[in-house]
Every structure is written in C-alpha cells, then in structure tokens.
Chain A
Amino acid sequence: MGELFASYNILGAFGLTILLAVFSAIGSLLIGTVVAIMRVSPIDFLNKVGAFYVNIVRNTPLTLIIVFCNIGFIVNLGMSFTNDIARNNIIWAIIGLSFYHAAFVCEALRSGVNTVPVGQAEAARSIGLTFSQSLSEVLLPQAFRGAITPLGNTLIALTKNTTVATAIGVAEISGLMKEMMEFRADLIIVIFLLVAIGFVILTLPIGILTTRLSTKLAVKR
C-alpha cells in the first residue's frame, strides 16, 4: 500500500478526477439549464433545437464525444487554450463532459418541470408575469427541487464518466490504475479496490446529499 502511494501519484490522479468532475458538473448544469429552458419555451424553433441536441448527444457514446473534442478541435482545427498539451486536454475533456451530461441535466430538469402543475404556470401568466418571470419565479425553483434526485444520479454518473478522459491522455485515476496494474501485477486486487473505494468515497456523498436535500426541499402539494 504505502509502496504504491510512494511510487505513484495516486492522490494527484484522484485530484484530477475531482477537478474534472467539479468543473464538468458546473458546465453541464449551466448548459443543461439553458437547453431545458429551450425545451419548455413557447417558441417552437427553440423546442426543436433543444430536442435535437438532447437526442443527438444523449445517444452518442461519451468516448466518441471526448475523442472528437480532442481530434476534431485540437488536432484538426487547432483550437487550443494553452500551449501546455496536458492542460489543453483537460480543458477539452471538461468541455466534452459538460456538453454530454448537459443532455441528462436537461432531461432531469424537464422531469422536474413536469412535477409543477400546469395550473401554476397559468396562474403566473394570469397575474401578468412574463415568460421569463414565470420561469425564474415559479417553474424553475420548483423544477430544481423536483429534479434533485435525477440530478444527483447525473452527477454520480458524471463522476464515474470522468474516467473516459483517459482516452485523450488526461492523467486521471483510471489511467493511473492501468499503469499501476501493468507494473505491479502482484498488487492487482489492492489497486483495483483502492480505485473502486476512491470512487465510492467521491460518489456516495453526492447520493446521500441529494437524497437529504430532496426530502428537505420537497415542495409540499
């Protein structure tokens, strides 16, 4: 054990996993909210664009999206944020993870919107609120509460899906795991358990927190 920690930067790799997860979570929540607003808006065109986005992105394997970010944007289009290749890969991984999980965030929020009775939206309109005021004052606050559990599931999936970033050379924990297993075949079980437990430590609190929040903030009907 100690030996492993001494010769491999396990904590650093987990740190990178956490960094990917946190920034992608923020990105996907922002993008997903925008797409969800498009999907519930009264403008037909925006509805269709939102639906198209969700259906394409949700049904494309994540690895493809991440590799596309790398090959398509960095290699072919030369779109780089920095000259540091490793950092550039991390940024594109975050972008890919964000856009991919935004589709799931959108659907989670939409299921939250569906928990709000239509009558409340009509009541909001009939006291003279504009569409955006109805959204921000009545629909979204309740939609977020109704969506906490599915959003939590999305965040857990996202945390685990950060492992895909290894496909474009981001040195997160699953990449390191492969490396360690290769060189320390004697410790394979230990390595495996270490990484698995690490992920449980990361994801378990998300589940516990969202379950708590969703009971605490539940809108009583």
Chain B
Amino acid sequence: MTEAARDQNPTGRPAEGDEPPLAAASTKEPMVVITGVNKHFGDLHVLRDIDLTVGRGEVVVVLGPSGSGKSTLCRTINRLEAYESGSITIDGKTLPDEGKALAQLRADVGMVFQSFNLFAHKTILENVTLGPMKVRKKSKAEAEAKARELLARVGVTTQADKYPAQLSGGQQQRVAIARSLAMEPKVMLFDEPTSALDPEMVNEVLDVMTSLARSGMTMIVVTHEMGFARRAADRVVFMADGEIVEVATPATFFTSPRSNRAKDFLGKILSH
C-alpha cells in the first residue's frame, strides 16, 4: 500500500467487500517471501511448509496459541535461527549463512523483542547510534542527529543520556523500536512487543507501532493485541502447531474465523 492510499484509508485495512488475497499479497510488490520453509527442534517439527508473502508496506499480524511457532518464524526470517528447507527472501535477496554478508543483510531486517534487549551498559543514545556507526559506517554526529530525531519520534527525547535500567518498560521498548529504525530497515519484526509490559504501558508502545504502520513500514507483528490488529493490520495470519492455518483480513478473522482451531483460540483470548 502506498502512503497516499494509506491516507485515504487510514485504518490500513482494505475497504469492505474488497476480498483480500490470502497467502500471497499479489497486489503489492513482495518484500518478504517465505516459501516451503521447514524447521525442526530435534523431533519437534516447529515450522511446517510455511508459505507467506508480505508486500512492501504491508502489516501482517501473526496470531496463534503459545508454542505454535510464531517466535521461531520471526527468528528464521532474520536468521537468528537456521531452517532446513525452503527459502526466505527479503526484497528479493536470500539471507546467506553466518558470516559478514549475513550481518550486513540482517541490518535490513529490524527486530523488536518481547524483553526489549537494550544494551545495558550503553546510554539510550548509544543504544540507538551503535548500529548506524558500526554497520552503516555513519559519522558520530550524523548518527546522533538521526538518533535524537528517532527518540523524539518515539517520545523519549529527555532520556537520551540515561541507561536502560533507569527507564520504564514502555520507554525501553520504544527505544528498542528507535534502535531498529535507526538502521533504516526494509521490514520490521515484532515478537510480542507488549507482552512483558505493565498494562498501563501497552498503549504507548502500540501507538508508536500504529504510526509506524501508517508511515508505510513493512511489518510482521506477533501480538495478541486485537485492537492493534484491527487498527493497523492488513492481514492476520493464524498459526497452530507450526502451520499457517488461516490468513484473512482482521475484520473477517475476528468476526468469522473459518477453522475450528481459530474459533477455539479466539474463544479463549476473547473470554479473558
């Protein structure tokens, strides 16, 4: 979806009656293409023949019960985990095996973790400038200017010289988002970014993510925040037991899921 199209349709959802393509986002130029990916942890088949194409600027929310392989899927996309068969391309390029080349390409894929994972010995500003300086070889002045701009964008301007432990969870997660954005990634992965937060801090993080989605960032988001899914997602992917069971628009998925496993899952999280 282009930025202009998004402006006309700020929910980011396709208009009513516009039945979406399912596994493939055929109307958009593909950004992430996952084809026939399989992965095992020992005997456990965690990813089974995963096919998923995410278009440029598209926002996909991944839902599913605990242990269904959502985190593993995110981690294989930026190769924190290896996979056995199939292929994953980012903007047409396959991530190579470990090594310098992988590190460079991995910088194009931002990742936001449940547990923030800020570098504890570095200030907030240093957390955000490290990647641009070391990987993108930007000057310190340039990296800091950009970092301050991003910190302002996620609303933690005044904390730049503090250490991560001095910030609230919500602030830390927003800094983690800024740290990823500083690399100017082509796609951002979010693995349950609000699950470790106190309830009153969830919205401040979701707001940043929503405005990021509106700005046209390609995003794959594992979350159980249905409000976010309704507001920002183009498609919802439902996983169970390592498989993609269902792909639909948020409106369709939340009101009339087709599979029994999805009905069962929604029943459980809605009754909460």
Considering only CB atoms and an 8 Å cut-off, how many residues of chain A contact the other chain? 23
Per-position binary interface string of chain A over residues 125-152, scored 1 when its CB falls under 8 Å from any chain B CB and 0 otherwise: 1111110010001100110010000000
Is A179 interfacial (CB-CB < 8 Å)?
no
Cα distance A149–B107 when bound, in Å?
A: 36
Is A124 interfacial (CB-CB < 8 Å)?
yes
- CB-contacts of B177-201 with A (<8 A): 179-180, 183
Cα distance A219–B119 when bound, in Å?
A: 10
Taking the closest CB of chain A, its distance from the CB of B195, in whole angstroms, is 14
| Segment from A32-40, A62-70, A114-122 that makes contact with B | A114-122
Q: Sort chain B's interface into a size bin.
A: 20 to 34
Is B80 interfacial (CB-CB < 8 Å)?
yes
Name the A residues within 8 Å of B115 (CB-CB).
Answer: 117, 119
Is B104 interfacial (CB-CB < 8 Å)?
yes
Is B272 interfacial (CB-CB < 8 Å)?
no
Is B109 interfacial (CB-CB < 8 Å)?
yes
- CB-contacts of B113-144 with A (<8 A): 113, 115-121, 130-131, 134-135
Once the chains bind, are B131 and A128 in contact (CB under 8 Å)? yes
Once the chains bind, are B131 and A127 in contact (CB under 8 Å)? yes
Taking the closest CB of chain A, its distance from the CB of B211, in whole angstroms, is 21
Once the chains bind, are A129 and B100 in contact (CB under 8 Å)? no
Given contacts A119-B117, A122-B113, contact A221 B131 (CB under 8 A): no
Once the chains bind, are B135 and A123 in contact (CB under 8 Å)? no
Cα distance A220–B165 when bound, in Å?
A: 6
Once the chains bind, are B120 and A120 in contact (CB under 8 Å)? yes
Is B228 interfacial (CB-CB < 8 Å)?
no
Is B154 interfacial (CB-CB < 8 Å)?
no
Is A42 interfacial (CB-CB < 8 Å)?
yes
Name the B residues within 8 Å of A219 (CB-CB).
Answer: 120-121
Cα distance A142–B108 when bound, in Å?
A: 26
Give B99's nearest chain A residue, CB to CB. Answer: A130
Specify which of A124, A127, A220 lies most central, judged by the most chain B CB atoms within 10 Å of its CB: A127
Once the chains bind, are B113 and A119 in contact (CB under 8 Å)? yes
Give B132's nearest chain A residue, CB to CB. Answer: A127
Once the chains bind, are B103 and A125 in contact (CB under 8 Å)? yes
Give A142's nearest chain B residue, CB to CB. Answer: B121
Is B18 interfacial (CB-CB < 8 Å)?
no
- CB-contacts of B91-114 with A (<8 A): 98, 100, 103-111, 113
Given contacts A127-B107, A128-B107, A220-B166, contact A138 B134 (CB under 8 A): no
Give A43's nearest chain B residue, CB to CB. Answer: B98
Name the A residues within 8 Å of B131 (CB-CB).
Answer: 127-129
Give A115's nearest chain B residue, CB to CB. Answer: B120
Once the chains bind, are B80 and A127 in contact (CB under 8 Å)? no
Taking the closest CB of chain A, its distance from the CB of B186, in whole angstroms, is 12
Is B163 interfacial (CB-CB < 8 Å)?
yes
Once the chains bind, are B118 and A221 in contact (CB under 8 Å)? no
Cα distance A80–B126 when bound, in Å?
A: 49
Give A124's nearest chain B residue, CB to CB. Answer: B119
Chain A residues at the B interface, C-beta cutoff of 8 Å:
42, 116-117, 119-120, 122-130, 133, 137-138, 141-142, 145, 219-221
A126-B110, A137-B134 given; 12 more Cβ-contact pairs under 8 Å: A120-B118, A120-B119, A122-B80, A123-B119, A126-B111, A127-B106, A127-B110, A127-B135, A137-B130, A142-B120, A220-B165, A221-B165
Chain B residues at the A interface, C-beta cutoff of 8 Å:
78, 80, 98, 100, 103-111, 113, 115-121, 130-131, 134-135, 163-166, 176, 179-180, 183
A-B contact pairs, 17 of them (CB 8 A): A42-B98, A117-B115, A122-B80, A122-B113, A122-B117, A123-B118, A123-B179, A125-B103, A126-B106, A127-B130, A127-B180, A129-B103, A129-B135, A137-B119, A137-B130, A142-B121, A221-B165
